[in-house]
Amino acid sequence: MRVLALCLGNICRSPVAEALLRRELAAQGVEAVVDSAGTGDWHVGRPADPRSIEVARRHGVRLSGRARQLLRRDFADYDLILAMDSQNAAEARALAGSPGAAARVRLMRDFDPLAPGADVPDPYLGGKESFESMYEMLERSAREFARQAARPQSAVHADRI
């Protein structure tokens, strides 16, 4: 399974989602390649936002990647693209190039048992509590995604979405 977490700049939400998806999929015994990207290019090459690094660190998660922008070839390289919000999902679908590729885009919180289909709000302009809330949403969503991915008949698998 190849999964790409997607947000706006690839410095706040998607790096945390990437790390949590990797952790939760491994815990379920699901072999996966997980990466992250942003729809925008403002932060390409930069590490995650220090506040995302800190909230992840407080929860025992390490962020080590560098920001990159979503590319059309990502739709061929990844089975599923998990967007953090509906705006980024729409931008990804517009870039996809075909209905089949666009169908690979889902919302991260489609897997949140407390708020299926909701957006993960961008914490960039918020304070410490915004980043903590983001982390909690992503952790719940990643855990449920991994639980579903561990089931062979799950709709999570790319050939069934």
Mind listing the pLDDT tens digit for each residue in 61-101?
999 999 999 999 999 999 999 999 999 999 999 999 999 99
Res 160 pLDDT > 70: no
The mean pLDDT value for 139-160 works out to 82
Residues noted as catalytic: 7, 13, 122
Specify the CATH number of the domain 2-160.
Answer: 3.40.50.2300
Question: pLDDT (tens digit, 9 = 90+) per residue, 2-20?
Answer: 999 999 999 999 999 999 9
| pLDDT bracket for residue 156 (50, 70, 90) | low
Res 157 pLDDT > 60: no
| Its pTM surpasses 0.75 | yes
Res 46 pLDDT > 60: yes
Res 107 pLDDT > 50: yes
CA terminus-to-terminus distance, the chain: 13
Helices (H) and strands (E) in the chain, counts: 6, 4
Query: What was the pLDDT predicted at 154?
Result: 64
Res 161 pLDDT > 60: no
The mean pLDDT value for 9-38 works out to 98
The mean pLDDT value for 18-42 works out to 98
Query: What was the pLDDT predicted at 152?
Result: 78
Domain boundaries, the chain: 2-160
Q: DSSP of 46-96, one letter per residue?
A: PBPPHHHHHHHHHTT-----B--B--TTHHHH-SEEEESSHHHHHHHHHHH
